[in-house]
Amino acid sequence: METTETRPRFFVEKSSVVRRIWGDADVILFIFAACAAEFALNRAVDWLFFTGKLPADPLGRLFSTVRYAQEIVFAEKEAADRAVGRMSAIHAGVEAARGAQIPAWAYRDVLYMLIDYSERAYRLLHRPLRPAEQAELYDVFRRVGAGMGIPDLPADYPAWQTDRWLHLDRDLVRSEHTKALFRRYREALGGWRYRLLLDAQALLVPAPVRRLLPLPEKPRLAAALPAYRAIHGSPLRALAQRVLVPDAYLARVRQLDRWNAG
């Protein structure tokens, strides 16, 4: 029998809504659709071009990022702490190679995207988060940021909301990098899946992002959301994924479903 002393300690409690968010393949895909839009506008996006990984393989980069995120969310605390340490070391290596430091505000921007779009995507596909769940979501990512040594993180969810909008107002610009990334998204996805990406982005991103991108004003994807909610959890969901996801990535998408993971 497990005792309090022998029971594993997890970075994120098994009952947490954060596990539900980051164990749902569809929610994760929407999170990264939105992040793909905002990443392309960030004033520090030149760092992505220095490594070359996102421009060269945007879908592959998505899956490698998700792997780290899920490793943290579903791992025991010690393993999660090691994963956070590896992320920090990877970024330190990139900084050493370039001979410059990624700005602290850019680290916060990325962390803030993951928090914001986790909530927005879950609300879009399932339901709004309750205040306690919002606080829980922020606490998880604040601990990730603190583990990476990111300074000046807000103390709580309300303070984060204020700082999030300050970052959005200050750190976004449409540039040649923006255009290059969206060209790569189109090449990687093909025509109709690229239009689906733009629809998803239009439904999720906040106004400062939407103003800087040519996203559809009336995304057709909105009309399909009630049908999605109706088939979630049924065999029809697998059929929808087969249609919507490129064959080369279908198995990896399905592996993202971990909401019942222990």
How many beta carbons lie within 10 A of that of residue 240, not counting itself? 16
Tell me which DSSP letter residue 62 carries: H
What is residue 233's predicted lDDT score, i.e. its pLDDT? 78
What CA–CA distance (Å, rounded) separates 17 from 157?
15
With H, G, I as helix, E, B as strand and everything else as coil, classify residue 42: strand
CB–CB of 123/137 below 8 Å? no
How many beta carbons lie within 10 A of that of residue 16, not counting itself? 18
What is residue 245's predicted lDDT score, i.e. its pLDDT? 85
| Per-residue pLDDT at 62 exceeds 80 | no
What CA–CA distance (Å, rounded) separates 34 from 185?
12
**Residues pairing with 42 in the sheet:** 172
What CA–CA distance (Å, rounded) separates 75 from 184?
33
| 233-248: average pLDDT | 85
What CA–CA distance (Å, rounded) separates 109 from 60?
21
Residue with tokens 């255009």: 179
With H, G, I as helix, E, B as strand and everything else as coil, classify residue 213: coil
What CA–CA distance (Å, rounded) separates 227 from 155?
39
What is residue 212's predicted lDDT score, i.e. its pLDDT? 97
| 169-185: average pLDDT | 94
What is residue 67's predicted lDDT score, i.e. its pLDDT? 81
| 46-70: average pLDDT | 77
| 78-98: average pLDDT | 89
**Greatest CA separation for the chain:** 60
| 79-90: average pLDDT | 90
| 223-242: average pLDDT | 87
What is residue 16's predicted lDDT score, i.e. its pLDDT? 95
